[in-house]
Amino acid sequence: MSASTAIGMVSTSLRNLLAGEMQLSLTVDVTVLAPDEQGSDRRVNLFLYRVEENPFLKNEEPTALPGNPGTLVPPPLSLILYYLLTPYAPNDAVNGNATAHQVLGEAMRVFYENPIIGPTYLDPGLTAAREQLRIIHASLDPEELGRLWTTFTQPFRLSVLYQVSTVQLDMLPASQSPIPQRVRRVGVPGVRQPPDLPEVLAMSPGSGAAGSPVTFTGVHLAGWQASVLILDQLAVDALELTADTIVAVVPAGLGLGFYDVTVDVSGLFRRTFLFEVTP
The pLDDT tens digits for 230-246 are 887 888 888 898 899 99
Q: Looking at the chain, which residues constitute the CATH 3.30.2000.30 domain(s)?
A: 6-173
Q: Which of 268, 275, 260, 3 is nearest to 129 (CA)?
A: 3
Q: Looking at the chain, which residues constitute the CATH 2.60.40.1220 domain(s)?
A: 197-277
The pLDDT tens digits for 12-32 are 999 999 999 999 988 999 999
CATH 2.60.40.1220, applies to 197-277? yes
- Give residue 261's identity as a one-letter amino acid code: V
DSSP labels for 170-193?
PPPGGG-EEPPPPP--TTS-----
Could you tell me which residues are beta bridge partners of residue 130? none
Q: HSE on the CB side for 90, CA within 13 Å?
A: 6
Q: How many CB atoms lie within 10 A of CB 75?
A: 16
E strand or H helix that includes residue 218: strand 213-219
The pLDDT tens digits for 113-159 are 999 999 999 999 888 787 889 999 988 777 877 888 888 877 888 89
CATH 3.30.2000.30, applies to 6-173? yes
